[in-house]
Homo-oligomer: A and B are copies of this chain.
Amino acid sequence: MKIAFVGLGNMGSPMARNLLRHGHSLVVFDVVQRNVDALTAAGAMAATSVRAAAATAELVITMLPSSPHVKTVYLGDDGVLAGVPSGIPLIDSSTIDPHSAREVAAAAAAHGNPMADAPVSGGTGGAETATLTFMVGAEPAVFDRIKPLLAQMGKNIVYCGNSGTGQVAKICNNMLLGISMIGVAEAMNLGAALGIEPKILAGVINTSSGRCWSSDTYNPYPGVLDNAPAARGYSGGFGTDLMLKDLGLATDAAKQARQPVTLGAAAQQLYQIWSAHGAGGQDFSSIINLLKGCE
């Protein structure tokens, strides 16, 4: 299939490579020339604009940092809708606010293009190994049409409902993740301060009602899990500032929906404090050190 791929950053680049590996023909675009060069070296063609990339594609995929980028790339004078023929399906894998996702999808629909929001989880590792989870908001028929393609870049392709619901699922899940990580950090710190062996405490929690991914798969307390970021000084993983971005999307959407998210907002503020102390680039589980204090 001839695919236009726009946005070749840390996530987009390995995703595009997986499509190349499956034999697709790719026309790519990115504002950073170096990113484009790396993909053309791998077999993709470079387009001179988003519009040009979209003009000859049978499908368009975008992976962009934020909502204003998505709006410009789709709705701008040189953007996707200015070039793409009617009927071609569009997939945006950026993580943005549901409202903007729906706005762009409505513009695409008006132009005759079915559009899916398909944000991912799994990080750069998942992008490279094609084990991402895609949370997809689209008409059921569109979902059926694009699912095989998404399966070439990911492992779990989850249908979330109509337009925007992919983004909704992503920000709701990540808000809960941001909360439960702090909850685990507090429980582990408290237990250790009160004299229980952290590994034993994690074992109790992981077989009890406190059980959660943040404890059994990504425990923030050093020494509990060998392969969690806590075991390597909180490098790699999912950065504090990325968690902050998602919590910002969630609390913004909650404000629009007039829906209280008390712990979500509290978590956002704690990560913001932690980021203000220089930890924005560390894995988000390092928040345990904000709460533990210094010796």
Contact = CB atoms under 8 A, between A and B. Distances in A.
B169 A196 contact: yes
Given A158-B203, A160-B200, A248-B255, A265 B260 contact: no
Contact of A291 (B121, B184, B262, B267): B262
Given A175-B186, A194-B168, A156 B207 contact: yes
A257 interface: yes
Interface size range on A against B: 35 or more
A135 B210 CA distance: 14
A291 B200 CA distance: 34
A64 B154 CA distance: 48
A252 to B, nearest CB: 8
A290 B269 contact: no
A277 B261 contact: no
B276 A270 contact: no
Contact of A201 (B169, B190, B210): B169
Contacts of A32: none
A190 B253 CA distance: 8
Interface in A222-269: 248, 250-255, 257-269
A269 B269 CA distance: 12
B276 A293 contact: yes
B269 A173 contact: no
A229 to B, nearest CB: 13
Contact of A173 (B172, B209, B262, B268): B209
21 contacts: A121-B208, A133-B208, A165-B196, A165-B197, A168-B194, A171-B190, A172-B210, A173-B187, A175-B186, A175-B190, A176-B180, A176-B186, A176-B215, A179-B263, A187-B264, A189-B259, A194-B253, A258-B272, A259-B291, A260-B272, A273-B290
